[in-house]
Chain A
């Protein structure tokens, strides 16, 4: 389907229309902002706690979630890119897909850089890519917005809302505005240097170990990272005696993440775990599998890391270390 475009006076017009048939997330109006929230919408699709099945003493029964149709409204390109990434990773995960197929994604173009973001460097923004959303909001002025409808799902959801079609020229203007936003991002050449060093396995083990000392295993980066997907499981007993297995967000930075019952632990050293995390985010092997890096440039890990080993800090250390060496 060719992308269709309309004029919209305000995102709330669309929100109010969609609210007739969907739950809207986040629930607050006027949430369409050009800054991603600290908490990404990851948990709406890959729930932080998810029941997998119950056991009544005889049988195991799968417990798939049955959410009502819902809209993720005003999602920035970094987070939409992450959803697109997880769509692939969880393609065969019935729990994720049960939520995902009920979700309508309304993206929003970012027109100015956010504090920690570097989406242009990892091809994840600031403009929303058509294949990652069902509709896209793009602000033209205080009172005028452009609404792009990317697919049939989006078009169906729009049914009943009368909007004026937009001029063809708006597409070019949008591209220009996004391009000018890209130019406003800080120089982050250290990122490219860091990525190269990681992929060429040139980061000295001592540096990983040093960064490992700073990592408190708080799990903040993995919780906030919109593409992190590791989980653990546990079993709980309901009041009626049934056993319920739940999965919950886990973090590869925990020392116990890989420790086996025998106490053997292939990644006992914190430095190895930190290295693993960044290899997962920027490794070429992963990129080959998913068509892009695992990092979408949101910078949340930098914001939330008490140990100052978020993406900017780590990549700057790697890059400056590499410079010292050469």
Chain B
């Protein structure tokens, strides 16, 4: 590894390639679903669902996002972004035609092979729906799985994301919307089958509604929510090896150099989410059993 010659080795590329912002639609409060165009579909490796890319907004910086739709044969892909910090605030000021940058894809995606013929329950919270979107679309096209249900939690109706997609998915999978604050209109809640509380509060009701028992659980959302859901399903008898989750961390390089995205769990301290994650199997996150 040492004494490498600069020209003939696969060096990490910390320099983005230029992409064009094609357009966007507003999708939930302070959230936009963007379309970007690569110079060519081959400009980057083909991403797996659940992998992420680093989006550069020149002048503001770089942050990780997931592909909601991977590049098509025109090199056009989509990503859902909520306005949160410096980079996203700058992105929201961009106009169609603006030049931005991309690096990636990075990280480990969802375990697509392990999902064959599985009865899959996805639980997403807030922006956590975005990393699952590409997988949902892939599954409903390939019919790779046996059953698929999605429980999507949000604080309130205004904060729900991927509204057109969820409407479309309703035809293809069992979809449960859960809101912490359902607002005053009780009627509309019943009408649209909206459950109240957190996804976990609604879980009994969800499982009663399904005519199948999940054998695979995919989680994406706040860590507290994912951890609670995983523990809940282990109590319900699901194997830790059948639970997968996608973890979010601050990142500056996405190739295991900058050090920001470490896991602080003692036995995983050498893990960087950008390389070893963001997708993890639940049992891999647990401390090794003591002999």
- List residues of chain A with CB under 8 Å of any chain B CB: 52-53, 55, 57-62, 64, 84, 87-95, 97-98, 101, 201, 229-235, 237, 243, 245, 247, 250, 252, 257-262, 264, 266-267, 272, 275-276, 279-280, 283, 285-286, 289
Q: Are A97 and B11 in contact (CB under 8 A)?
A: yes
Check: B86 CB closer than 8 A to any chain A CB: yes
Q: Please name all residues of chain B whose beta carbon is closer than 8 Å to the beta carbon of A267 when the two chains form the complex.
A: 264
Q: Are B11 and A92 in contact (CB under 8 A)?
A: yes
Kindly list the 3 A-B residue pairs having the minimum CB-CB distance in the complex, ordered from nearest. Answer: A261-B85, A230-B259, A261-B84
Check: B59 CB closer than 8 A to any chain A CB: yes
- List 11 other contacts, CB 8 Å, given A94-B14, A233-B258: A59-B18, A84-B2, A93-B12, A97-B6, A101-B4, A230-B259, A257-B260, A261-B85, A264-B248, A275-B264, A285-B269
Closest B residue by C-beta to A259: B250
Check: B181 CB closer than 8 A to any chain A CB: no
Q: Chain B, 257-269, contact with A by CB distance < 8 Å: what is the 0/1 string?
A: 1111111101101
Q: Are B249 and A91 in contact (CB under 8 A)?
A: no
Check: B101 CB closer than 8 A to any chain A CB: yes
Q: Please name all residues of chain A whose beta carbon is closer than 8 Å to the beta carbon of B248 when the two chains form the complex.
A: 260, 264
Q: Please name all residues of chain B whose beta carbon is closer than 8 Å to the beta carbon of A97 when the two chains form the complex.
A: 4, 6, 11
Check: B88 CB closer than 8 A to any chain A CB: yes
In the complex, A284→B189 CA distance in Å? 53
Q: Are A243 and B6 in contact (CB under 8 A)?
A: no
Q: Please name all residues of chain A whose beta carbon is closer than 8 Å to the beta carbon of B2 when the two chains form the complex.
A: 84, 87-88, 91
User: Among the listed stretches B60-68, B105-113, B168-176, which one makes contact with chain A, having 4 or more residues with CB under 8 Å of it?
Assistant: B60-68
In the complex, A156→B189 CA distance in Å? 79
Cβ-defined partner of B257 (8 Å) among A229, A276, A279: A229
Closest B residue by C-beta to A236: B59
Check: B3 CB closer than 8 A to any chain A CB: yes
Q: Please name all residues of chain A whose beta carbon is closer than 8 Å to the beta carbon of B187 when the two chains form the complex.
A: none
Check: B235 CB closer than 8 A to any chain A CB: no
Check: B284 CB closer than 8 A to any chain A CB: no
Cβ-defined partner of B59 (8 Å) among A88, A237, A247: A237
In the complex, A89→B96 CA distance in Å? 40
Q: Are A58 and B18 in contact (CB under 8 A)?
A: yes
Q: Which residue among A101, A245, A280, A285 has the maximum number of chain B CB atoms within 10 Å of its CB?
A: A245
Closest A residue by C-beta to B57: A235
Cβ-defined partner of B266 (8 Å) among A91, A201, A258: A201
Closest A residue by C-beta to B16: A60
Q: Which of B57-88 contact A (CB under 8 A)?
A: 58-63, 84-88
Q: Are A276 and B264 in contact (CB under 8 A)?
A: yes
Q: Are A258 and B249 in contact (CB under 8 A)?
A: yes
Q: Are B260 and A258 in contact (CB under 8 A)?
A: yes
Q: Please name all residues of chain B whose beta carbon is closer than 8 Å to the beta carbon of A53 when the two chains form the complex.
A: 14-16
Closest B residue by C-beta to A237: B59
In the complex, A289→B257 CA distance in Å? 14
Q: Please name all residues of chain B whose beta carbon is closer than 8 Å to the beta carbon of A275 when the two chains form the complex.
A: 264, 266
Q: List 29 A-B contacts (CB under 8 A).
A: A53-B14, A58-B99, A87-B1, A87-B2, A91-B4, A94-B12, A97-B4, A101-B3, A101-B5, A201-B287, A231-B252, A231-B253, A231-B257, A232-B258, A234-B61, A243-B58, A243-B59, A258-B250, A258-B262, A260-B250, A261-B85, A261-B86, A261-B87, A261-B88, A264-B248, A283-B270, A285-B270, A286-B269, A286-B270
Q: Are A231 and B262 in contact (CB under 8 A)?
A: no
Q: Are A250 and B259 in contact (CB under 8 A)?
A: yes
Q: Please name all residues of chain A whose beta carbon is closer than 8 Å to the beta carbon of B13 when the two chains form the complex.
A: 62
Closest A residue by C-beta to B263: A266
Q: Please name all residues of chain B whose beta carbon is closer than 8 Å to the beta carbon of A234 when the two chains form the complex.
A: 61
Q: Are B258 and A101 in contact (CB under 8 A)?
A: no
In the complex, A88→B59 CA distance in Å? 32
In the complex, A93→B267 CA distance in Å? 26
Q: Are A276 and B15 in contact (CB under 8 A)?
A: no
Cβ-defined partner of A266 (8 Å) among B58, B223, B266: B223
Nearest CB on A from B106, distance (A): 14
Cβ-defined partner of B252 (8 Å) among A57, A94, A247, A261: A247
Check: B17 CB closer than 8 A to any chain A CB: yes
Q: Given A58-B99, A267-B264, verify A262-B249 contact (CB < 8 Å).
A: no
In the complex, A262→B221 CA distance in Å? 12
Check: B228 CB closer than 8 A to any chain A CB: no
Closest A residue by C-beta to B98: A57
Q: Please name all residues of chain A whose beta carbon is closer than 8 Å to the beta carbon of B4 when the two chains form the complex.
A: 91, 97, 101
Q: Which of B39-70 contact A (CB under 8 A)?
A: 56, 58-63
Q: Please name all residues of chain A whose beta carbon is closer than 8 Å to the beta carbon of B60 when the two chains form the complex.
A: 235
Q: Are A90 and B250 in contact (CB under 8 A)?
A: no
Nearest CB on A from B9, distance (A): 7
Q: Are B266 and A279 in contact (CB under 8 A)?
A: yes
Q: Are A235 and B269 in contact (CB under 8 A)?
A: no
Check: B222 CB closer than 8 A to any chain A CB: yes
Q: Which residue among A94, A252, A266, A279 has the maximum number of chain B CB atoms within 10 Å of its CB?
A: A266
Q: Please name all residues of chain A whose beta carbon is closer than 8 Å to the beta carbon of B167 when the two chains form the complex.
A: none
